[in-house]
Amino acid sequence: MNSHILTAADLSQMLGIALIEIRAAESLERAQLWADVFHNVPGGLQRGIEPEEIYAGMLGRAKRWGDSVWLERQREWAIRHR
């Protein structure tokens, strides 16, 4: 397995962290951003969509919100801490 490829476990870990971020968000807009970015993760994993494909959609949504840096850092962290 390529160590730089995102796995379903990585996405699950990222989702867990995102839920904490949503709960702690200081603004409704910030909570909405992460809810929008992550809401398709469980369904995508259940349908067998490749984690990298799911992540590409997440990254596109984060970029539309103008905030992809946090997501990219979470991806790197999840891969590094398997």
Full-model pTM: 0.92
Name the residue among 9, 6, 22, 20 with its Cα closest to residue 59.
6
pLDDT of residue 3: 83
Tokens of 53: 């494909």
Tokens of 17: 């962290």
Q: Over the chain (82 residues), what is each successive 10-residue block's mean pLDDT?
A: 88 97 96 97 98 98 96 96 92
pLDDT of residue 1: 54
- Helix then strand then coil, in percent of the chain rounded to 5, is 75, 0, 25
What is the spatial distance between Cα 31 and Cα 21, in angstroms, rounded to a whole number?
8
